[in-house]
Amino acid sequence: MVYKIFLAFFLCWIFLIRVKSEEKPKDFENKDYYHFHFSKDVDLDAFSQELGFEYEEALEHLDGHYLFSIDKGVSDDKIEEKIKDYFGLEGNIIDGFNSDKLFYYEKQKLLRREKRNVIRDPMYLDTSQNSGDTGNVNSGEKDQQIKLLEEKFEEIKKKLNISDKYFGKQWYLFNKKNPGVDINVTGLWLEGITGKGVTVGVTDDGLYYKNEDLIQNYCAEGSYDFNTQTSDPSPKRSDDTHGTRCAGEIVAAKNTFCGVGVAYDAKVSGIRFLASVLSSWLEGKALSYRYDINDIYSCSWGPRDDGKTIEGVPYSAYNSIINGINLGRKGLGSIYVFGSGNGGYYDNCNYDGYVVSPYTITIGSIDVRGIRHYFSEQCSSVLASTYSGSIVTNARIYTTDVGEKGCSTVHSGSSASTPIAAGVIALVLSVRPNLTWHDIQGLIVESAVPFSLDYPGWEKLPSGRYYHYYFGYGKLDAYRMVEAARNFKHLNPQARFSVPMIIVNKKFSENNGHITDKFNLIKAYPDYYNFGKLERVSVTLYFQHAKRGSLEINITSPSGVTSMLTHRRLHDKNYGYVHWTFSTVKHWGEPIVGEWTIDIEDQKIPNLDGEFYNWQLHFFGESADLTKTQSIVYPFITRSPSPIPGEPTVYLPTPSATISPSVSPQPTSESTSEPTPQPTPQPTPQPTSEPTSEPTSEPTSKPTPQPTPQPTSEPTSEPTSEPTSEPTPQPAPPQPAPPQPAPQPAPQPAPQPAPPQPAPPQPVPPQPVPPQPMPSRPAPPKPTPQPTSEPAPQPTSESTSEPTPRPPPQPTSEPTSEPTSEPTSEPSPQPTPQPVPQPAPQPAPPKPAPKPTPPKPAPKPTPPKPAPKPAPSKSSSKPTSTSSSFISSSTKTKTTTQKASPTSASGRSSSTQSASHTSFFKRNLLLISILIASIILLIFGFLFLFIRFFKKRDSYTNGHPVTETLNYESDPNMSQETEKATMLKRNQQVTSSDLSDTEDPNMYERRILRS
């Protein structure tokens, strides 16, 4: 009985866990799905009831990300209006203004992903570059050399005890005919480096883990099927073979079966999600699944490689990648490997959002001859390359297939190159498990081996490295990469920043189809953003053209190195607006300071209609000071082209790098004046309300030189307006600092410069020291909210508008630097607002008699506000530094940025929290009821055992055991009278004295009967 009780309890518990893990299937035929990113103060139940949504689920590992559904038939415009009304948003706030509760939302769209083993008809692909001399890779081979290679191969097989029947045909592991045309991995195996302790997650269409070459290396804990919501990732359809083939290249075991994998002792997980209707939400879940177990994510898929598709990374997927970068591998960062694609000459992988991401590794493809495959896709984001098979050269990839004894020889495309790269990285991590995701990228650049240098396209860079748009910095040499990893010095965490948007507004037809623009990057930028060594450059362009595929775009660095961001895509004849972020790794290690030039040219029909509106530079690299780096939080996201010219305004990469105010360029005239507003000069105007964001950023950053270089009067007007929109996202991170204002008020009272009149003296000389000589381009990065070290004045939302005064407080003396900015206009009125944000600075400037009760106390009443605002610091936790800043697209991809609003009532947080708890119980009512029922069942079980125990104890009276138990039904031939007589006779030893005075003499008899 006890066994049954515990069994029932166990089964109920299993059911409970299963119910909790199951998700409702998505019904895209009858419902629309929306992804919302909320603050913690939003009551999900109230939101759902008010707007008519139904809560679906939360995105695992990401706080504040939720999926809701609504019946089809409700227009997108109506939903947008409801959202505006619910959150009290004004105007087109969803298209770019700020909200402290709604950070982002988008309607889920069905995605089309290609498994990149699909090779298109060669007649559509250009193979001209493969003709002619291919270098010395295939030339001059002698029979003697081949004989020596054969002997060495047999020796390796014997030492490693490899009996796999197709190992001899795995030319990419050991090439017996073309020495050097392989990944040079066997030497590592001989040293015992085989990938132990590393797990690779294959995100694909399934994994047939029962295959003899996979079963011993299968990792069930890191596997899941998002299509069927089960833990078994096995393929369910006949064409779900792609993932199994990719897995075999990585971990196929060393046995007597098919072949061996690059890291044949590593573990592999199957994450199945490509086999059914695919949404951006589902893609995001797959890319962050069990990042605590899966070290590397091998992704042999992507948008269509048809030469005309432009597709970015979905919001949920990008956030999942950032989550993996920050938390995966115990904080060292998950490693994401993607293929460049199979679009051939007529496509460019810089139009693939996953490829241009600074947090992924892009791998190109090489064929057995040491040249590019006819399907290979080029772009400036390719970091390195590995080998792939082809039916053209009859050089096959031997790997596992579906079935217990399945073995494939037809796996090809960049789908085959990506897993080999993942296997090489697994070997590296088995030797240096403490390398970060950032270290791995640097290690690849340092150890990649150029090859076939006579092949057209290689370019020698000032750094001494070679680069090719098809092969990156060269092929991955496993042995060389592991050796380099042994003594590799850790890179400092990543630093990043963006320059202000650069306005162009030029028409192609008026410039003979060729437009060039320049931006001079001064040293103040890298200094201000703690930027050390350059690694990657991203360029956001906004233009429209009658045939966008005709455009070739290049960026030239101060060192004179030109990166082709995209070449002509002849199949892309689409007309419309393009707002896209391209990327290049070709400038790795170059100096960043100097003139950067963008060049766009229509190489076919110069007179076609079109206009180049604006562009923006984003820099990624190694931080200069390890102690000042910040974690990666929602960097800029590559978006699909936006059809509305006015929408795309700015890409805010991260809280660490603030992008100057967005200048929504109206594609009409040449507004050359807009670039100037960028100067961060102390905004002399007194923006009482909106400026709150700016002050927070500037005060936080100690580099006073940067604000000072901009002490010009002209920019003061424009900066005030623009910063209010863009910088607001950045204030979100600084909000946690409000408590700091308290210390600053203390210094204020002591240094109260009695002579506030000396305001006129404007000692500007000291501040001009920083290099402000920016050409017509925007001034240095003044409004970076990154340094959240001293955001004390942030609490004073209204009066903290004047950021320049804060830097001066650092010098204890009364430098004339601050006065310069303040007296620029109306000394009397301006001083009053400035003192409020930075009470400490008052000692230095003569005017800042703010907090004292001098004659100008009237404006001073504002200071009291700081006191209450420190309390609202609670609300500051809401933003959680998720300064989500992204481009909104016309397809209802809406973006709002978190803004620091100290006015949010702290009391509401408690009510909303309780509401959220209520919503949790409502959503999990079934689970809770099952758990309670199980507990009750267990209690009854124990109660039953307790009663049985006492029953048996009652069978003993005064130490006389009952020797026999009688029952009326024990013997059908014995009458009741006979049974009683027999019982009394056998127990005549029990006398009435043994019974208590109150006990019934017949009770003993009844006890015997019960027993």
Catalytic residue (one of 32, 41, 95, 204) = 204
Sequence-distant (≥ 6) Cβ neighbours of residue 417 within 8 angstroms: 339, 363, 364, 365, 366, 385, 386, 387, 388
Q: Which helix (H) or strand (E) holds 156?
A: helix 143-160
Which residue has tokens 């750094």?
Answer: 463
SS3 assignment, position 438:
helix
Strand order in the sheet with 296-299: 224-225, 267-272, 199-204, 296-299, 335-339, 361-366, 384-387
> What gap in Å lies between CA 936 and CA 205, rounded to an integer?
43
Which residue has tokens 């307006």?
Answer: 721
Sequential DSSP letters for 87-105: HT--TTGGGT-B-SSEEEE
> What gap in Å lies between CA 651 and CA 53, rounded to an integer?
30
Which amino acid belongs to residue 405?
A: K
Burial class (CB in 10 A: 0-12, 13-18, 19+), 440: buried
Q: Which helix (H) or strand (E) holds 151?
A: helix 143-160
Sequence-distant (≥ 6) Cβ neighbours of residue 334 within 8 angstroms: 291, 294, 295, 296, 297, 321, 324, 325, 328, 437
Q: Which helix (H) or strand (E) holds 680?
A: none
Number of residues in the chain: 1011
- Of 547, 530, 801, 505, the closest CA to residue 680 belongs to 801
Q: Supply φ then ψ for residue 1007, to 5 degrees.
A: -60, -45
What letter would DSSP give residue 307?
Answer: S
Residue 242 catalytic? yes
> What gap in Å lies between CA 25 and CA 39, rounded to an integer?
26
Alpha-carbon dihedral 505, 510, 516, 522, rounded to 10 degrees: -40
SS3 assignment, position 299:
strand
Number of C-alpha atoms within 13 angstroms, CB side, residue 1010?
15
Which amino acid belongs to residue 285?
A: K
652-668 burial, b if ≥16 CB within 10 A, otherwise e? bbbbbbbbbbbbbbebe
Catalytic residue (one of 35, 37, 65, 242) = 242
Sequence-distant (≥ 6) Cβ neighbours of residue 752 within 8 angstroms: 842, 843, 849, 851, 852, 854
Say if residues 586 and 471 touch (Cβ distance below 8 Å). no
> What gap in Å lies between CA 880 and CA 887, rounded to an integer?
20
Report residue 55 as tokens.
């809560």
Q: Supply φ then ψ for residue 713, to 5 degrees.
A: -80, -35
Catalytic residue (one of 288, 298, 415, 883) = 415
What letter would DSSP give residue 996?
Answer: -
Residue 204 catalytic? yes
Say if residues 196 and 288 touch (Cβ distance below 8 Å). no
Report residue 408 as tokens.
């494939």
> What gap in Å lies between CA 777 and CA 385, rounded to an integer?
38
What letter would DSSP give residue 821?
Answer: H
Sequential DSSP letters for 717-765: HHHHHHHHHTTTTTTTTTTT-TTTTTTTTTTTTS---S--TT-S----T
> What gap in Å lies between CA 361 and CA 355, rounded to an integer?
7
Q: Which residues is 494 bridged to in the sheet? A: 622
Q: Report, as residue numbers or ranges, the catalytic residues.
A: 204, 242, 415
